[in-house]
Amino acid sequence: MENASYAGITRQQGLMAEMRTIANNIANASTTGFKAEEVMFSEYIKKLGGDFPSLSMATAEVRNTVQTQGGLAQTGGPFDLAIEGEGFFLVETPNGERLTRAGSFTPNGDGDLVTMDGYPVLDAGGAPVFIPQGAGEVGIAPDGTISAGGNPIGQIGLVVPADPLKMTREGGTLFNPQGEFDAAIDGRMMQGFLEQSNVNPIIQIGRMIEVQRAYELGQSFMEKEDERIRGVIQSLSR
């Protein structure tokens, strides 16, 4: 009798995890460089003791990041950069080097190019990108080369993780490569553009309704199973 309830609770936990993921996607539908997440359900067989048969269980502990290209919005900002194709910007955080597709940058008071969170933007070699004050009009080529007054002054790194399967998400738009990274070959930077979130709010809201209905059905099943168990216990105690 406990098996049905245990399986039901596991299923409800998975649906709640998916609901939280969907809600986070919708909340970041307007976040620059944000990539939608999906919850992946998997099924496994749990061995029971004694002569009892095995039990098929479902779990939803794996999240998959959807790495499709987001739309490109023109801003005209000289330090707004979008990546078309593969690749990530390389930034330095308090926890080490991280990857991001959010290209809304600006020079700080020291001339270092930084993200909206103040993290330094790095070149392919891992050094901070420096923009001299009073250098004149800044141009950024598709390969990340920065020119000021017609003279090259640096290059923004465009990289990919050496092993994409090891890359993990650290919330928001930051990713941990969990290892080495290589130069991106099939990507290019576009100055004056930002990559929009790849979240489709309509699809996400539709999926939220489906998950909510599935959760309500599961809750109804568990309530009926609880009533059945109570009835059996009461019958045996008479």
Co-location of 110 and 41 in the same domain: no
List pLDDT tens digits, range 49-64: 566 555 555 565 667 8
Is 212 among the domain residues?
A: no
Q: What are 158's strand-pairing partners?
A: 89
The token duo for 3 is 């098996």
Is 200 among the domain residues?
A: no
- Phi, psi of 228, rounded to the nearest 5 degrees: -65, -45
Co-location of 94 and 58 in the same domain: no
Residue 224: its pLDDT value, please? Answer: 74
Q: Which residue has the tokens 């609901």?
A: 19
For residues 204-232, average pLDDT: 82
Is 210 among the domain residues?
A: no
Query: Sign of the CA dihedral 62, 68, 73, 74?
Result: positive
Co-location of 46 and 114 in the same domain: no
Co-location of 97 and 167 in the same domain: yes
Co-location of 122 and 147 in the same domain: yes
Is 93 among the domain residues?
A: yes
Co-location of 123 and 174 in the same domain: yes
Question: What confidence category does residue 41 fall into, taking pLDDT thresholds of 50, 70 and 90?
Answer: low
Co-location of 83 and 99 in the same domain: yes
CA–CA gap between residue 122 and residue 128 (Å, rounded): 4
Question: What confidence category does residue 1 fall into, taking pLDDT thresholds of 50, 70 and 90?
Answer: very low
Average model confidence (pLDDT) across the chain: 86
Co-location of 7 and 100 in the same domain: no
Is 205 among the domain residues?
A: no
CA–CA gap between residue 173 and residue 65 (Å, rounded): 11
Going by C-alpha positions, the residue among 144, 86, 84, 149 that lies closest to residue 113 is 144
Total domain count, the chain? 2
Residue 71: its pLDDT value, please? Answer: 96
Is 188 among the domain residues?
A: yes
CA–CA gap between residue 31 and residue 28 (Å, rounded): 5
List pLDDT tens digits, range 132-146: 887 778 999 999 999
Is 7 among the domain residues?
A: yes
Q: Domain span at residue 225?
A: 2-67+219-236
- Phi, psi of 4, rounded to the nearest 5 degrees: -65, -40
Co-location of 111 and 35 in the same domain: no
Co-location of 99 and 63 in the same domain: no
List pLDDT tens digits, range 60-97: 566 789 999 999 999 999 999 999 999 999 999 999 99
Co-location of 100 and 175 in the same domain: yes
Is 117 among the domain residues?
A: yes
Question: What confidence category does residue 46 fall into, taking pLDDT thresholds of 50, 70 and 90?
Answer: low
Contact criterion met (CB below 8 Å) for 181 and 122:
no
Co-location of 111 and 189 in the same domain: yes
